[in-house]
Structure 1
């Protein structure tokens, strides 16, 4: 990781500043149905780092409230302003359901307005070995 990259890892408990509070699941074994959602995003020009972080925290609040959420990690490369949002879901249905709900969630409209949607890439991965 470059010296300019900032790393925020979210364990699902509220013991450290800025994490994605919620029920602790880090000791939960990974299963073959679990889906890992990886989103690569950046914010539109002019959105400062504090507003970016606030937007990511708003997304985290929404994600934590979704059935099937297991964990979330956020990564930011300070040099280019890109973010990686890694969310583990219990299964593909939970990931797909949360994505559908996010599109109509009024609490996310302001965040989505700040994200460069042409740049946004979201993929879902399942364990193969």
Structure 2
């Protein structure tokens, strides 16, 4: 199986509460897990305020399908509303090493 990493980097909109954002991200987990294709997810933020959402999927097709479906989901609205779309970057990469 060829797994795919989805790596999204972004900043929050000015004045957004990072704790509220983390909760909104957590509220999306049932949807992501419910796809049956999400393997793992980490969400991090560096000291400069750059966030990284890193999701490992069973395949690129699964990642694309989840992204398409996500915009239809009501639980995604609070999460997306806090992200500044300027400078947001999404990329996908084939996973070559996963220690566990």
TM range (shorter): 0.7 to 0.9
Which structure is higher in strand share? Answer: 2
Large movers: runs of 4+ above 4 Å: none
Deviation of the 1:127 alpha carbon: 3.5
How many residues are paired up? 97
Q: Report the counterpart of residue 61 of structure 1 in structure 2.
A: 30
Runs (5+) with no aligned partner, structure 1: 1-30
* TM-score (normalised: structure 2): 0.84
Label 1:119 to 1:59 Cα distance change in 2 as closer, same or farther (>3 A): farther
1:103 to 71, 81, 87: 71
Partners of 1:43 and 1:115 within 8 A in 2: yes
Greater relative contact order (Cα < 8 A, sep 6+): 2
User: Which residue pairs with 1:22 in the alignment?
Assistant: none
Which of the pair has more CA radius of gyration? Answer: 1
Q: Are 1:35 and 2:4 matched, yes or no?
A: yes
* Equivalent runs, 1:88-127 vs 2, <5 Å: 88-127=56-95
Report the more deviating stretch, 60-69 or 103-112.
60-69
